[in-house]
Structure 1
């Protein structure tokens, strides 16, 4: 992974005004690369996830994770640069994947960054990263204060039950880790109230409860199957032969 972001735009000119404006808006000194992928062999496309420190000097709460894609036309000597800002890396990665980046090429975040604290965080992040267009981002907020936190509020397009989903990410500077959770709400007002009050755990998505019931049923079935496979030792049960090496009776001498 590169230490300095290089858009590789030598001898190329912007294909449109948006690309020119986007390129001028970046300062490489403010960008820390979290993940990147450049196509081979001619490097016609680049996909980058980066933390933009310049955002911390602007409006409080704005998303700081930049998703950047560059498409180069070597025949026309032009480039097209697009960017989008997100509160957390998985949604930035999702944006790049939807624009042609192979998921496995952009999934790994650098080891110098905070790492997931538990398996649930890993599962939720992978789900969000590879969710396609399932989630419509409604709003987000990033805080550098303690506790360090960023959250994304979305609308789940594939469910009618509690379709507003909130994904808060909380960092632990001492442990150099972070956790991500998912909450499900009927509307944006309920989600916003929960984020403001933080009186307790967020309501879990209905599918979580379904999965929990399925896991419990599966565990019960395994226990039931295991119990029935073990013969009951009762008065009527035939005695099992002792394990180990049986001693043969001595034949002795014939009389």
Structure 2
């Protein structure tokens, strides 16, 4: 444990409500969990939420997730507690899992201590998209490689809201020396093509089509604004052919490790 935080949910006078909760609380006594962020719902603290890094994962099965989300419920009438835990490839997916269980996202967004920072705005936008996703993404596979340089983790998911290329890969890469990380989203037609890209890395991660739509819409909005102000610097061809989309100049989406 560090950062002045321990996993004391005030459970000393309470008993685990089930075997799963009993096993989960034993993990907290092992000393392998580093808290990244937490929140207790007031006034009585009956609900608690934690995102933690399981430092023991590096000694387990290669590629295992290292981020744990923890939800605790204290039943003071029965003197019991229930603990739910779930492993995730990235902090953003852990935060989304806790949000689905009642934790306000604004309360677990800031991480403790000396953690890596997002390298750019696109990383922030993609993470925000994941945090607010609810049950949108079905996680099909994950992999973490903390020993490589740079380190990497990815989650292969199915996007229930995507009409095109519904298989999405969220890839996080971190540079320990720089103290930063990036998060990117890729889109594939099926699981097989996503796995093929992850194995071969033959080209850049394919961007989701909505990124292109958002970029085109943003460009046309700027052109329309410039027209109304009479100060347009857009290419003449763009202004004279409003039905022909201009070349893409901004490939960011409309929206958006901490080790």
Conserved? CA contact 1:38–1:45, under 8 Å: yes
Match of 2:199 in 1: 196
Cα distance in 1 for residues equivalent to 2:216 and 2:16 = 55
**Which residue of structure 2 aligns with residue 180 of structure 1?**
183
Inter-partner Cα distance in structure 2 for 1:130 and 1:171 = 22
Aligned positions of 1:98-247 closer than 5 A: 98-144=100-146, 145-227=148-230
Larger Rg: 1
What SS is found at the alignment partner of 2:42? coil
Match of 1:241 in 2: none
What is aligned with 1:44?
Answer: 46
1:91 paired residue among 90, 93, 102: 93
Matched residue SS, 1:63: coil
Please list the CA deviations of residues 177-217 of structure 1 after superposition, one character each: whole Å capped at 9, or x if unmatched: 10000000011111111111112211111111110110111
Pairs aligned (count): 229
Give how far 1:2 is off: 4.2
1:123 deviates by 0.7
List, as ranges, runs of 4+ consecutive aligned residues in structure 1 with deviation greater than 6 Å: none
What stretches of structure 2 of length at least 5 have no aligned partner?
233-259
In 2, Cα distance between equivalents of 1:183 and 1:110? 29
Structure 2 length as normaliser, TM-score?
A: 0.85
User: Greater RCO between the two (CA within 8 Å, min separation 6)?
Assistant: 2
TM-score by length of 1: 0.86
Residues 8-51 of structure 1: CA distance to partner in whole angstroms, max 9, x if unpaired? 21110011111112222334521111110011121101100000
Residues of 1 paired with 2:29 and 2:139: CA distance?
26
Corresponding position: 1:70 with 2:92? no
Please give the alpha-carbon distance, in whole angstroms, between the structure 2 residues aligned to 1:147 and 1:228: 45
Pairwise CA RMSD: 1.4
Alpha-carbon offset, residue 173 of structure 1: 1.1
3-state secondary structure, aligned to 2:9: coil
